[in-house]
Amino acid sequence: MDHKQNIDLASGFSAFEAKHFSRAMQLLAPHAQAGNAEAQYRLGIMYQNGLGTVHNPTLAFRWMQEAAQQGHGLAHHGLGFMYLEGSCVDQSDSKAADCFTQGVEQGLEGSMMALAQLYEEGRGVEKDRDRAQSLYQQAGLVEPKIS
């Protein structure tokens, strides 16, 4: 990547953080297409929520999935919620659990909490209160309430 591309990528991330989503979309799209996982993840968020662009569930899922396939932890987490809620993709508790598991492997506390709830409720995975409790503790909850 040349110097201008680096500046455009950094400017795209800055625009996203400043909530200048149209500008972020313009700057990040070429990087997402070139395979930058962070740019892909952020495009997924923008398409999912209609930020700086028209809401497009198909593109939201595509970019989130591409970022996740490159090992982007937050993209795994985002995909998990897409599957859990049936947002941008058909609802699937088991696929949500798979995605959250990937997030857990990358140390994401949010994925630990989400996966713990799935184990606690037996959604997409076999009910396993011990596994749920372990995940809650891993996420930093000292006294999880599992009945």
Among the listed residues 51, 60, 90, the one whose alpha carbon sits nearest the alpha carbon of residue 78:
60
CA distances from 35 to 51, 63, 64, 88, 123 (A): 21, 10, 12, 21, 33
Residue type, 123: R
Among the listed residues 44, 131, 35, 29, the one whose alpha carbon sits nearest the alpha carbon of residue 80:
44
- Can you tell me the distance from the alpha carbon of 38 to that of 56, in angstroms, rounded to the nearest whole number? 19
The answer to the question of residue 142 being in a domain is yes
Question: Given a cut of 90, is residue 2 above it in pLDDT?
Answer: no
Tally of domains in the chain: 2
- pLDDT in the model for residue 144: 53
Are 5 and 64 contained in the same domain?
A: yes
Question: Given a cut of 60, is residue 9 above it in pLDDT?
Answer: yes
Are 85 and 147 contained in the same domain?
A: yes
Q: pTM for the whole thing?
A: 0.89
